[in-house]
Protein backbone atom coordinates (compact mmCIF):
# COMPACT_ATOMS: atom_id res chain seq x y z
CA UNK A 1 0.00 0.00 0.00
CA UNK A 2 1.14 3.52 -0.84
CA UNK A 3 0.42 6.43 1.50
CA UNK A 4 1.41 9.96 0.54
CA UNK A 5 1.83 12.57 3.26
CA UNK A 6 1.37 15.83 1.44
CA UNK A 7 -0.03 19.33 1.39
CA UNK A 8 -2.45 20.68 -1.21
CA UNK A 9 -0.27 23.47 -2.59
CA UNK A 10 3.21 22.24 -1.65
CA UNK A 11 5.34 22.23 -4.80
CA UNK A 12 7.22 19.10 -3.69
CA UNK A 13 3.98 17.27 -2.99
CA UNK A 14 2.66 18.36 -6.39
CA UNK A 15 5.73 16.79 -8.01
CA UNK A 16 4.96 13.42 -6.45
CA UNK A 17 1.21 13.68 -7.04
CA UNK A 18 1.92 14.29 -10.75
CA UNK A 19 4.17 11.22 -10.87
CA UNK A 20 1.57 9.08 -9.08
CA UNK A 21 -1.15 10.30 -11.46
CA UNK A 22 0.95 9.73 -14.59
CA UNK A 23 1.75 6.22 -13.39
CA UNK A 24 -1.90 5.68 -12.39
CA UNK A 25 -0.89 4.34 -8.99
CA UNK A 26 -3.67 3.97 -6.41
CA UNK A 27 -2.69 5.49 -3.08
CA UNK A 28 -4.01 7.00 0.11
CA UNK A 29 -3.25 10.59 1.04
CA UNK A 30 -2.83 12.24 4.43
CA UNK A 31 -2.87 16.02 4.48
CA UNK A 32 -0.30 17.76 6.68
CA UNK A 33 -1.37 21.28 7.66
CA UNK A 34 1.86 23.27 7.25
CA UNK A 35 0.39 26.46 8.65
CA UNK A 36 -0.40 24.60 11.87
CA UNK A 37 3.17 23.18 11.80
CA UNK A 38 1.97 19.55 11.71
CA UNK A 39 5.15 18.79 9.73
CA UNK A 40 7.20 19.14 12.92
CA UNK A 41 4.86 17.09 15.12
CA UNK A 42 6.67 14.18 16.82
CA UNK A 43 4.61 11.61 14.89
CA UNK A 44 5.36 13.12 11.49
CA UNK A 45 9.04 13.62 12.31
CA UNK A 46 9.26 9.82 12.72
CA UNK A 47 8.22 9.53 9.06
CA UNK A 48 10.24 12.47 7.74
CA UNK A 49 12.89 13.67 10.21
CA UNK A 50 13.43 16.79 8.09
CA UNK A 51 9.93 17.99 9.01
CA UNK A 52 8.84 18.64 5.43
CA UNK A 53 6.31 17.19 3.00
CA UNK A 54 6.05 15.02 1.03
CA UNK A 55 6.79 11.62 2.44
CA UNK A 56 5.72 8.36 0.85
CA UNK A 57 5.14 5.28 2.95
CA UNK A 58 5.21 2.07 0.91
CA UNK A 59 4.13 -1.02 2.81
CA UNK A 60 5.17 0.65 6.05
CA UNK A 61 8.55 1.92 4.79
CA UNK A 62 9.01 5.69 4.50
CA UNK A 63 10.69 7.22 1.47
CA UNK A 64 11.46 10.94 1.59
CA UNK A 65 12.71 13.66 -0.79
CA UNK A 66 10.35 14.30 -3.69
CA UNK A 67 12.94 13.60 -6.41
CA UNK A 68 13.96 10.35 -4.75
CA UNK A 69 10.30 9.40 -4.28
CA UNK A 70 9.58 9.85 -8.00
CA UNK A 71 12.51 7.63 -8.99
CA UNK A 72 11.54 5.14 -6.30
CA UNK A 73 8.02 4.91 -7.73
CA UNK A 74 9.48 4.28 -11.17
CA UNK A 75 11.76 1.56 -9.78
CA UNK A 76 9.07 -0.10 -7.67
CA UNK A 77 6.34 0.17 -10.33
CA UNK A 78 8.02 -0.03 -13.75
CA UNK A 79 4.75 0.08 -15.69
CA UNK A 80 4.15 3.48 -17.43
CA UNK A 81 7.79 4.52 -17.04
CA UNK A 82 8.59 8.14 -16.26
CA UNK A 83 12.25 7.86 -17.19
CA UNK A 84 13.50 7.78 -20.77
CA UNK A 85 15.16 4.49 -21.72
CA UNK A 86 18.10 6.06 -23.59
CA UNK A 87 21.00 6.86 -21.24
CA UNK A 88 21.54 10.38 -22.57
CA UNK A 89 17.87 11.35 -22.31
CA UNK A 90 17.78 9.81 -18.85
CA UNK A 91 20.82 11.85 -17.81
CA UNK A 92 19.10 14.99 -19.11
CA UNK A 93 15.99 14.08 -17.15
CA UNK A 94 18.10 13.80 -13.99
CA UNK A 95 19.75 17.14 -14.59
CA UNK A 96 16.30 18.76 -14.75
CA UNK A 97 15.08 16.80 -11.74
CA UNK A 98 17.91 18.14 -9.63
CA UNK A 99 17.29 21.80 -10.56
CA UNK A 100 14.80 22.24 -7.68
CA UNK A 101 17.04 20.37 -5.24
CA UNK A 102 20.08 22.45 -6.20
CA UNK A 103 18.49 25.87 -5.64
CA UNK A 104 15.13 26.44 -7.32
CA UNK A 105 13.12 25.03 -4.42
CA UNK A 106 14.71 27.37 -1.88
CA UNK A 107 14.23 30.26 -4.32
CA UNK A 108 10.56 29.34 -4.76
CA UNK A 109 10.14 29.25 -0.99
CA UNK A 110 11.76 32.67 -0.77
CA UNK A 111 9.48 34.28 -3.36
CA UNK A 112 6.31 32.64 -2.04
CA UNK A 113 7.12 33.44 1.57
CA UNK A 114 7.99 37.03 0.75
CA UNK A 115 4.92 37.54 -1.41
CA UNK A 116 2.28 35.61 0.46
CA UNK A 117 3.04 33.33 3.35
CA UNK A 118 4.90 35.79 5.62
CA UNK A 119 1.83 37.93 6.20
CA UNK A 120 -0.39 34.88 6.68
CA UNK A 121 1.98 33.35 9.22
CA UNK A 122 2.37 36.62 11.11
CA UNK A 123 -1.41 37.03 11.23
CA UNK A 124 -1.85 33.52 12.60
CA UNK A 125 0.92 33.53 15.25
CA UNK A 126 1.93 35.71 18.16
CA UNK A 127 5.62 36.83 18.14
CA UNK A 128 6.36 34.21 20.82
CA UNK A 129 4.63 31.46 18.83
CA UNK A 130 6.59 32.52 15.76
CA UNK A 131 9.87 32.26 17.61
CA UNK A 132 8.94 28.81 18.86
CA UNK A 133 7.89 27.74 15.37
CA UNK A 134 11.23 28.81 13.88
CA UNK A 135 13.17 27.17 16.70
CA UNK A 136 11.54 23.82 15.89
CA UNK A 137 12.70 23.77 12.25
CA UNK A 138 15.41 21.11 11.87
CA UNK A 139 17.08 23.03 8.97
CA UNK A 140 18.65 26.10 10.61
CA UNK A 141 19.52 27.84 7.32
CA UNK A 142 15.87 27.58 6.34
CA UNK A 143 14.82 28.97 9.72
CA UNK A 144 17.13 31.96 9.21
CA UNK A 145 15.71 32.63 5.75
CA UNK A 146 12.15 32.42 7.06
CA UNK A 147 12.98 34.84 9.88
CA UNK A 148 14.35 37.38 7.40
CA UNK A 149 11.34 36.99 5.11
CA UNK A 150 8.88 37.38 7.97
CA UNK A 151 10.61 40.61 8.87
CA UNK A 152 11.35 42.11 5.45
CA UNK A 153 9.09 40.40 2.88
CA UNK A 154 10.07 41.17 -0.73
CA UNK A 155 12.78 43.51 0.58
CA UNK A 156 14.78 40.68 2.16
CA UNK A 157 18.27 40.78 0.62
CA UNK A 158 18.13 37.39 -1.11
CA UNK A 159 14.75 37.88 -2.84
CA UNK A 160 16.32 39.43 -5.98
CA UNK A 161 18.56 36.39 -6.51
CA UNK A 162 15.58 34.08 -6.01
CA UNK A 163 13.56 35.91 -8.65
CA UNK A 164 16.52 35.92 -11.05
CA UNK A 165 17.03 32.19 -10.61
CA UNK A 166 13.42 31.54 -11.68
CA UNK A 167 14.06 33.71 -14.73
CA UNK A 168 17.21 31.77 -15.57
CA UNK A 169 15.43 28.42 -15.28
CA UNK A 170 12.64 29.66 -17.59
CA UNK A 171 15.31 30.79 -20.06
CA UNK A 172 17.03 27.39 -19.88
CA UNK A 173 13.68 25.69 -20.45
CA UNK A 174 12.95 27.81 -23.52
CA UNK A 175 16.32 26.82 -24.97
CA UNK A 176 15.95 23.13 -24.10
CA UNK A 177 12.47 22.95 -25.60
CA UNK A 178 13.84 23.88 -29.04
CA UNK A 179 15.29 20.35 -29.18
CA UNK A 180 12.23 18.33 -28.20
CA UNK A 181 8.65 18.53 -26.99
CA UNK A 182 9.63 17.72 -23.40
CA UNK A 183 12.53 18.71 -21.18
CA UNK A 184 14.41 15.43 -21.56
CA UNK A 185 13.55 14.93 -25.24
CA UNK A 186 10.56 13.40 -26.96
CA UNK A 187 8.80 11.85 -23.99
CA UNK A 188 7.11 13.21 -20.90
CA UNK A 189 9.29 12.35 -17.91
CA UNK A 190 10.09 13.01 -14.28
CA UNK A 191 11.68 16.24 -15.53
CA UNK A 192 8.18 17.61 -16.20
CA UNK A 193 6.87 16.48 -12.79
CA UNK A 194 9.90 18.13 -11.17
CA UNK A 195 9.66 21.52 -12.85
CA UNK A 196 5.95 22.06 -13.53
CA UNK A 197 4.97 22.92 -9.92
CA UNK A 198 7.47 25.79 -9.90
CA UNK A 199 6.00 27.27 -13.08
CA UNK A 200 2.53 26.81 -11.60
CA UNK A 201 3.64 28.65 -8.45
CA UNK A 202 4.83 31.63 -10.49
CA UNK A 203 1.52 31.55 -12.31
CA UNK A 204 -0.44 31.53 -9.05
CA UNK A 205 1.63 34.42 -7.79
CA UNK A 206 0.57 36.44 -10.82
CA UNK A 207 3.98 36.20 -12.51
CA UNK A 208 3.06 34.47 -15.80
CA UNK A 209 4.52 37.49 -17.59
CA UNK A 210 7.91 35.93 -16.88
CA UNK A 211 7.29 33.62 -19.85
CA UNK A 212 5.25 35.91 -22.10
CA UNK A 213 8.25 36.11 -24.45
CA UNK A 214 9.02 32.41 -24.06
CA UNK A 215 6.54 30.70 -26.37
CA UNK A 216 7.97 27.22 -25.90
CA UNK A 217 7.60 27.42 -22.14
CA UNK A 218 4.04 28.72 -22.56
CA UNK A 219 3.23 25.84 -24.93
CA UNK A 220 4.86 23.25 -22.63
CA UNK A 221 2.86 24.57 -19.67
CA UNK A 222 -0.40 24.52 -21.68
CA UNK A 223 0.27 20.92 -22.79
CA UNK A 224 0.88 19.88 -19.19
CA UNK A 225 -2.35 21.47 -18.05
CA UNK A 226 -4.24 19.54 -20.72
CA UNK A 227 -3.05 16.16 -19.42
CA UNK A 228 -5.41 14.11 -17.24
CA UNK A 229 -2.68 13.99 -14.55
CA UNK A 230 -2.97 17.77 -14.10
CA UNK A 231 -6.64 17.55 -13.19
CA UNK A 232 -5.93 14.64 -10.87
CA UNK A 233 -2.80 15.94 -9.16
CA UNK A 234 -3.18 19.72 -9.28
CA UNK A 235 -6.69 21.03 -10.02
CA UNK A 236 -8.28 18.54 -7.65
CA UNK A 237 -6.31 20.11 -4.78
CA UNK A 238 -7.49 23.67 -4.40
CA UNK A 239 -6.06 26.36 -2.18
CA UNK A 240 -7.45 25.59 1.24
CA UNK A 241 -7.57 28.97 2.94
CA UNK A 242 -9.37 28.97 6.29
CA UNK A 243 -6.39 28.36 8.56
CA UNK A 244 -4.05 26.82 6.01
CA UNK A 245 -1.70 28.45 3.50
CA UNK A 246 -3.36 30.45 0.77
CA UNK A 247 -1.31 31.42 -2.28
CA UNK A 248 -4.25 32.85 -4.20
CA UNK A 249 -2.73 36.26 -4.71
CA UNK A 250 -4.45 36.86 -8.01
CA UNK A 251 -7.97 36.64 -6.64
CA UNK A 252 -7.00 38.86 -3.74
CA UNK A 253 -5.88 41.53 -6.18
CA UNK A 254 -2.34 41.65 -4.81
CA UNK A 255 0.06 42.55 -7.58
CA UNK A 256 3.73 41.82 -7.06
CA UNK A 257 4.65 41.95 -10.76
CA UNK A 258 5.91 45.59 -10.71
CA UNK A 259 8.25 44.78 -7.81
CA UNK A 260 9.42 41.52 -9.43
CA UNK A 261 9.95 43.30 -12.76
CA UNK A 262 12.12 45.88 -11.01
CA UNK A 263 14.14 43.15 -9.26
CA UNK A 264 14.71 41.40 -12.61
CA UNK A 265 15.89 44.61 -14.19
CA UNK A 266 18.24 45.57 -11.35
Binding site for ligand GSH (CB under 6 A): 10-12, 34, 39, 52-54, 65-67, 101, 105
Which residues lie below 8 Å from residue 56, measured CB to CB, with a gap of 6+?
2, 3, 4, 5, 16, 62, 63, 64, 69, 72, 73
Rounded CA-CA distance 4/129 in Å is 28
Q: 10-40: b or e for each residue (b if 16 or more CB lie within 10 Å)?
A: bbbbbbbbbbbbbbeeebeeebbebbebbbb
CB of 199 vs ligand GSH, minimal distance in Å: 15
Nearer to ligand GSH, 107 or 207 (CB): 107
CB of 247 vs ligand GSH, minimal distance in Å: 11
Q: Which residues make beta-bridge pairs with 28?
A: 3
CB of 151 vs ligand GSH, minimal distance in Å: 17
Nearer to ligand GSH, 37 or 214 (CB): 37
Which residues lie below 8 Å from residue 155, measured CB to CB, with a gap of 6+?
none
Nearer to ligand GSH, 54 or 185 (CB): 54
Rounded CA-CA distance 204/130 in Å is 26
Nearer to ligand GSH, 49 or 180 (CB): 49
Q: 17, 6 in Cβ contact below 8 A?
A: yes
Q: Which residue is nearest to ligand GSH (CB)?
A: 52
Nearer to ligand GSH, 53 or 224 (CB): 53
CB of 65 vs ligand GSH, minimal distance in Å: 5
CB of 105 vs ligand GSH, minimal distance in Å: 6
Nearer to ligand GSH, 11 or 185 (CB): 11
Amino acid sequence: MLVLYHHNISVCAQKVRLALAEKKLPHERRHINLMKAEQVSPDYLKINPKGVVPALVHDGQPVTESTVIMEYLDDAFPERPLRPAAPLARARMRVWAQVPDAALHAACGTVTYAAAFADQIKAANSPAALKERLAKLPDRARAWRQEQLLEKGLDAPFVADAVKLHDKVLGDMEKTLTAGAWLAGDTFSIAECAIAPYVLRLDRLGLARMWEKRPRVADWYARLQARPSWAEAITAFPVLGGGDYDDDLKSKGVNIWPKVKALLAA
